[in-house]
Structure 1
Amino acid sequence: MKKGVNYLFSIHRITGCIIAGFFLMWFVTGLILIYHPYPRLTDEQLYEKKEILPSLLPDIQSIKQKAGENIKQLHIRQSQGQTLATVTTADSCFTYCCNDTTVAVKPITFSFLEETALKWVNAPVIKVDTLHERVQWILYSRYDRAMPIYKFYFDDPEKHELFISGKTGEVQQLTDKSQRLWAWLGAIPHKFYLPFIRKNLDLWDTSITIGGLLCFITSLTGAFVGIYVLLKRHKQKKKWEIPYRKRWYRLHHITGLLFGLFLIAWGISGMISMQRIPQWLINTNGNYIFNSSRMWGKKPLPIDTYELDYRQLKTAYPDLKEVSWTHFRNIPVYTVIVGNRELQIDASTPKIKKLFIPEQTIIEGIQEVHGKNVNFQISLLDTYDNYYLSRTESLPLPVYRVVIDDDISSRYYISPETGYIRYLNKNKMAKKWLFSGIHYLNIQWLLERPMLWTISLWVLCLGSAFVCLTGCWLGTKFIKRYLTKGGYDKNRLQ
């Protein structure tokens, strides 16, 4: 028994020396990250800068004549003063100018990119870089498709930097000096958002997983030895007291006992943040990712089923910017960008009305996926629950909740106004608790009480950070003692 305990003491000391500083960084940067997330452009910002469609729009018959009858996808937008239609058929995808089919679509030129940049930031441009690979503020793989990307530097008090795709002319990212500073203090170290790590997804994934694993091992062994020495002292003296006389040892032991459980939990959440719950642990027969086309149907609806003339949208919404033809099962729908928001318009009738998918359509979709004889419960929610939850209230409401009676506890949350689908099964629900439930305290009861959620998070983070701080100090002393004296006394902490 004593040999095993000594072994755990050694593991705790060694892993603690390695990971205490990292764990401390995680808590401090995590608090910053809550209030200052990694810079990103919102949909509202992107929609706001799009060009408004003109009053005179092409009728659908002229589009059909140009594209043929077998239109699979259709999208109309305004760019460089031209009304452009992008048509996808079974055989091809092409874009043409609706104003005059004999006029070529204007290419993306550098002068156009400069004009776009000045629309976003009203300040002189002092430098432009041409990027052919991802850098600090454009780290996600989706940016590869936009290369080359031009980075514009502006001479304004906020020191804005704007990234624009040379391929599409679309803005990819916008940062200012305040966002960049807070990102370096919070999101970048917390999420390992450094180019040499983040650009390699396997390396990034592995780094976070190993970091979380070391935190978990250190916390678990620390909790064990902390309880062990406490019980040992009680057995010797028949009273409860902290067995250490030195200040830093006492502080580390006391705070470790108080916050050890949370350190273990956060170690677990960090370890699985980039991982799925293994199928050997919670088997879902490989059903992890759900493709919404299974619910709504892959085959597009014929253009003639769109009873609403899309040109009426311009009258109803003067700041109409884009129109896309889509569908949800047998309901033809226009997805439109109006001002700085996206709307779904039901095109099944000649009158303009916003989309609201009826319950019967949801039921038909569920039966399409799970079979006609499936047992399920469906209800319309006006509030969040533990598996459909957003601290910022960004998820759409109301939402249909569909709970399926099957072996993997399938459930769906489906927005009747947007067609958004969130799919879960028992594997995903377990990860919800082990990751976001622990990592962000995404628990319905707490989020419904914002002040209590804030206090809980700050207390737990600061308390856990103090455990790590004392661990860093003791680890530094341990390493110094080991190097100067050639070893350490195994019984020093017992």
Structure 2
Amino acid sequence: MAHFKRWLFLLHRWLGIVVCAFFAMWFVSGVVMMYVGYPKLTESERLQHLPPLAADAALLGPREALDAAGIAGPLKELRLAVASGGRAVYLAQPAGGKGGMVIDAATGTPLRHVDRELAMASAAAFAGSGVGLVYEGTLDEDAFTHSRALDAHRPLHQVALVDAAHTRLYVSGRTGEVVRDAPRTERLWNYAGAWIHWLYPLRGGALDPYWADIVNWLSILGIAVTLMGTAVGILRWRFASRYRSGSRSPYRGFMMRWHHITGLLFAAVTLTWISSGLMSMNPWRVFDSGAPALRTEAMNGGPLAPPVGAASPQALIAAAGGTVRELRWTRTAGRDLVLARGTALRPTVLDAASAAPTALDAEALKAAVAKLSSAPVARIELLTAYDSHYYTREPHTMTGGGDKPLPIWRVVFADEAGTWAHVDPRTGALLNRSDSHRRASRWLFAMLHSWDWRPLLERRPLWDLAMVLLSLGGAALSLTGVVIGWRRLGRKLTPKPAARRIPPFTPSKEHP
């Protein structure tokens, strides 16, 4: 037992020197991330910055533009917006294809190359009139563009805006769209927030292929050190009696004593946050259920393929009323629809053939969503309020910034994976899917790491106080460990002074 304790103390001491530095960094940067997220262009921001589509513009219909560009097959996505080079374009993504195509809506000419001039025109349209622009060149990836969602747009053009926020825009090298904005304040705070919290200094270089493994194994090491520290703290604490000093802790030094006390107080929350942080990485794909993909084409009643003679863009813009920033063609339950979107996230639903405002038949849509899976539908629930599995967060957070409309349907399938599908009954859009593995991830990551618990989130600043106080406690535990480790290393690495040699006594002639 004595040997076990000795090894326990030694392992915790020396491994803790490294791990406590990461703990301190994670706790402090986590507080920053509560209020400043990693840069992203939310859907709401994108729509607000898109110039409006002119109802009187001479634009080709979707079928005419696709034919002129030589696109004959079915599509995964088709939308019209003033999104590339400051002019109206169709952005088409063929079904089954990875890349998309940009087509000039006035001429049907495909966009072949995004050069500096086009990137600057896109940035100017995004920024609005009167804002100066500075072109900063192209890049593949930098500190603010590590997101895999941007892979389809690389290389990226950088354009700096001469505005009060010193905003930097990133323009897609494939489509010419602005795909990310990053004000200077957001960029600076990110060096103390998400960039360091997610160990992004390791991304984009020689260590990039090993980034996920490094994060995973550091987390596992952190879990081990926390468990060892908890054991050491309990073994060294006298619950029934006191040490000679009168304290229940044997340590007399300030740092050692407070590391012991904060360790006992905040070991549980440290272990929870490190473990749940590991779960965010989906280590070794433990949350992948292997369930088959949903059959969206069967639900839609076939692929998206705008027919000849469909309503013109001008008719659709006029029918939507108000200011239209984007037209998006969709197909659901065997019907071709157009979603006309202004600055608000909720679109006007139009019939693609007649341009008339329309509504989906509920029974037809229920029959369509049943085709998403080969398993039978167990039930369809109507959600009129957010719950633990379908909810929204602030736009700057990792899971925030998306469109989470209400009311929606939750379609529950009677399959082995426990599949759920969330469907917007107004537009027929499949919002997301879930299964038992992903719901486990929601509890083990979002709940335990970000405390995405609705009763607490709805009672802010109670959520803020709890998160900040616990983070400060964890930071105190970690920083005292860093100081102790630094001092101990200093003592170990400082060479000891050589022992002073006393020469042997040699009697002189004057002495007998």
- Indicate how the Cα distance of structure 1 residues 180 and 357 shifts in structure 2: closer, same or farther if over 3 A, else same: farther
Q: 2:340 aligns with which of 336, 339, 361?
A: 336
Equivalent of 2:479 in 469, 476, 481: 469
Task: Give secondary structure in 1 for the equivalent of 2:461.
Answer: helix
Is the Cα contact below 8 Å between 2:40 and 2:181 reproduced in 1? yes
* Kept after mapping to 1: 8 A contact 2:92/2:101: yes
Contact 2:421 2:430 survives alignment (8 Å): no
Post-superposition Cα deviations, 1:90-115, rounded to whole Å, max 9, x if no partner, equal: 999976655456x8879755334334
Q: In terms of mean alpha carbon deviation, does 270-279 or 176-185 score higher? A: 270-279
CA contact (8 A) 1:296 1:327 kept: no
Cα displacement (A) at 1:240: 9.4
Q: Which amino acid aligns with 1:30?
A: G
**Which one of the candidate residues 489, 492, 497 is aligned to 1:479?**
489
| 2-structure distance, mates of 1:87, 1:474 | 59
Cα distance, 1:467 vs structure 2: 0.9
Change (3 A) 1:297 1:39: same
The one-letter amino acid paired with 1:136 is: A
User: How far did residue 351 of structure 1 move?
Assistant: 7.1
Give the corresponding residue for 1:403: 412
SS of the equivalent of 1:210 reads: helix
Name which of structure 1's ranges 42-51 and 301-310 shifts more when overlaid on structure 2.
301-310
Secondary structure in 2 matching 1:14: helix
Which piece of structure 1 moves more, 89-98 or 23-32? 89-98
**C-alpha contact (below 8 Å) 1:402/1:412 kept by paired residues:** yes
* Helix, strand or coil at the partner of 2:478: helix
Question: What residue in structure 1 maps to residue 362 of structure 2?
Answer: 358
Gaps of 5+ in 1: 487-494
Q: Deviations over 1:131-178 (max 9, x none)?
A: 242122322345454344332334555433333234432223332321
Maintained 8 Å contact 2:63/2:308: no
Q: Which residue pairs with 2:382 in the alignment?
A: 380
Distance in 1, matches of 2:389 and 2:206, equals: 31
Amino acid aligned to 1:293? T
| Residue in 1 that maps onto 2:29 | 29
Q: Residue 296 of structure 1: which of 296, 299, 321 is its match?
A: 299
CA drift at 1:257 = 1.2
Residues 5-404 of structure 1: matches in 2 within 5 Å? Answer: 5-56=5-56, 57-58=59-60, 72-73=74-75, 74-78=78-82, 84-85=89-90, 99=106, 108=114, 110-119=116-125, 120=127, 122-125=130-133, 127-194=134-201, 196-197=203-204, 202-230=209-237, 234=241, 241-276=248-283, 284=289, 286-287=290-291, 290-291=293-294, 293=296, 296-297=299-300, 299-300=302-303, 303=306, 311-315=314-318, 316-339=320-343, 341=345, 343=347, 345-347=349-351, 352-353=356-357, 358=362, 361-362=365-366, 364-366=368-370, 368-371=372-375, 374=376, 376-392=378-394, 395-404=404-413
**1: CA distance, partners of 2:337 / 2:170:** 33
8 Å CA contact 1:20, 1:468 repeated in 2: yes
Residue range with higher mean Cα deviation, 15-24 or 69-78: 69-78
The code of the aligned residue for 1:186 comes to G
Residues in 1 aligned to 2:490 and 2:463: alpha-carbon distance in whole angstroms? 40
- Greater displacement, 336-345 / 251-260: 336-345
Change (3 A) 1:198 1:220: farther
Unpaired stretches in structure 2, ≥5 consecutive residues:
395-399, 497-512
**Secondary structure of residue in 2 paired with 1:172:** strand
Task: Using structure 1 for the length normalisation, give the TM-score.
Answer: 0.82
SS at match of 1:478: helix
CA distance in 2, matches of 1:90, 1:267: 41
Distance in 1 of aligned mates of 2:352 and 2:162: 51
- Distance in 1 (CA, whole Å) between partners of 2:46 and 2:478 is 41
Give the equivalent residue in structure 1 for 2:440: 430
Decide which of 418, 439, 444 is 2:449's aligned counterpart: 439
Q: Percent identity?
A: 24
Letter in 1 for 2:410: R
SS in 1 for 2:418: coil
Q: Tell me the secondary structure at the aligned position of residue 194 of structure 1.
A: helix
Kindly state the Cα deviation for residue 194 of structure 1 after the two structures are TM-superposed.
2.6
2-structure distance, mates of 1:109, 1:197: 24
> SS at 1:162's partner residue?
strand
Q: How far off its partner does 1:375 sit?
A: 5.8
Equivalent in the alignment of 1:452: 462
Would you say the 8 A contact 2:73–2:94 is kept in 1?
yes
Deviation larger for 330-339 or 466-475:
330-339
TM, length-normalised to structure 2 = 0.79
